[in-house]
Amino acid sequence: MNNRRLRIILLLLSSFVQYNIFSQIKQGMIVYERKTNLYKKFKDSEDIKEWLKEEDKIKVDLFELWFNDSTSLYKPQDSELREYNAWATDKNTVRQYFTTGKLYMIRQIWEEEVHISDSLTRRTWKLTSSTRKIAGYNCRKAVWQINDSLRIYAWFSYDIVVPTGPESFGGLPGAILGLATEDGGLVYFAKKVTLVPPTPMDLEIKRKKSATTRAELIQTLTKKYGHEKWFKREFHRNFDIY
């Protein structure tokens, strides 16, 4: 191989490496649209179709996720519009800390605000060869098998090299831009990705000294409501996924 040909090959390799380095996104903001099928969420309520019309069964909520290479903050988008059936879905705020493996979450559980300080949830994801494009980014599909009857599908992008996603989800080789339960009852999809660095205010979360761990919260709720017939159904609805 002559020197001129070798120089051309090295130049092309250098350009390819530089392109991949600079194309890796490490900061920005993602807007998610969450669609909740209320018929499926409240399927155990026999009279659900009597008080909720067919045209209102899909509730749409918007969230934003600010991120950099060490942390992210997921929160509801501010809106001055009056929300219909606001009580029907929860709007959680979650701060993930990738370098320490910790999270801080403000959850709505039965219309009460609960502060949780704990470790990031470790999920065993199975990567597949299935791909799709979301918000202009190529994404790869991963599957999390929660139990024998429930699976979660996630679509993540290798271009956004931050292991985060909606709610407390993450742990993949890129940001999750799409997330869905197997029955389609709960679906998150990114509508927009903005490449702007977050400010300290964008990543701010209001903490409480009385924050509990997830295990402590489950123990408290079980002790308080474990004897109620509705508790098992509500427990799985609130803790199986998040």
21 — pLDDT class (breaks 50, 70, 90): very low
Rounded-to-integer distance, Cα 50 and Cα 17, Å: 60
Question: Tens of pLDDT along 175-200?
Answer: 999 999 999 999 999 999 999 999 99
Which of 25-29, 36-40, 173-177 shows the lowest per-residue confidence on average (mean pLDDT)? 36-40
List the domains of the chain with CATH numbers. Answer: 25-212 (2.50.20)
Give Cα separations from 114 to 1, 205, 219 (angstroms). Answer: 67, 13, 14
Instruction: Report yes or no: 117 and 213 within 8 Å, Cβ to Cβ.
Output: yes
Q: Select from 89, 84, 70, 65 the least CA-distant residue to 190.
A: 65
Question: What pLDDT was estimated at residue 18?
Answer: 40
Question: Tens of pLDDT along 78-99?
Answer: 876 667 777 778 899 999 999 9
Rounded-to-integer distance, Cα 188 and Cα 167, Å: 10
Hey, what are 228's tokens? 């109620």
Which of 47-56, 65-74, 133-142 shows the lowest per-residue confidence on average (mean pLDDT)? 47-56
Tell me whether residue 16 is exposed, middle or buried, using C-beta atoms within 10 angstroms of its C-beta: 0 to 12, 13 to 18, 19 or more: exposed
